[in-house]
Amino acid sequence: MNKIKEFIKGHKTLSIIMAVLIILIIILIIVLCVNSSSDKKLKPEVITNTNEGIIKEENYNGLVFNNISLITEKGYTTFTASVTNTNNEVSNVSDVNINFYDKNDNLIMSFRGNIGDSLSPGETRTITSSTKGNLNKVSYKTITEYTQG
């Protein structure tokens, strides 16, 4: 211990420089750790529900729903699908309910899927519907007649 004190007395400038360097290194490490953890918080997590019961093609009254995605990002979930009229007649179905269920067959949520104006035979449109919340745990969906409520 005495040798350390003697060294410090004999090399005050060098001791001060070493102490400052050690403090700067500690501060740099702390800053890097804080920035690294805050970067993780800033990056939005994107969750895609790829359950077969979600992405599988559905048919409702001759309207085929495919290219389906259910994506959660920044606290909102968006359902997107292509809708094709496979009937030989114009479809006047303008809205459908897209119902999401858990693995125990409990209804979690229903989205309104707005198809819009009449859809000619063979015509395809993309529908999109969003809600606040995370639906990455839903297991399957059904498409039914639109009912308000």
> What is the DSSP code (8-state) at residue 74?
T
> What is the DSSP code (8-state) at residue 148?
-
* Residue position matching structure tokens 């496979």: 86
> Phi and psi of 83, rounded to 5°?
-120, 125
List of residues 6+ apart from 137 with CB closer than 8 A: 102, 108
The pair of three-digit structure tokens given for residue 8, joined into one six-digit string: 């410090």
pLDDT, tens digit (0-9, with 9 covering 90-100), for 1-51: 677 667 666 667 766 777 777 888 888 888 887 776 655 555 568 889 999
Report the distance separating Cα 149 and Cα 62, nearest Å: 25
pLDDT, tens digit (0-9, with 9 covering 90-100), for 37-51: 655 555 568 889 999
Give the number of residues written for the chain. 149
The pair of three-digit structure tokens given for residue 149, joined into one six-digit string: 């409520």
SS3 call for 34: helix
> Phi and psi of 21, rounded to 5°?
-60, -45
Report the distance separating Cα 102 and Cα 135, nearest Å: 9
For the cut 70, the answer to whether the pLDDT of residue 110 exceeds it is yes
Asked if residues 123 and 84 have their Cβ atoms less than 8 Å apart, the reply is yes
User: How many other β-carbons are positioned within 10 Å of the β-carbon of residue 83?
Assistant: 24
Read off the pTM: 0.69
Report the distance separating Cα 149 and Cα 132, nearest Å: 17
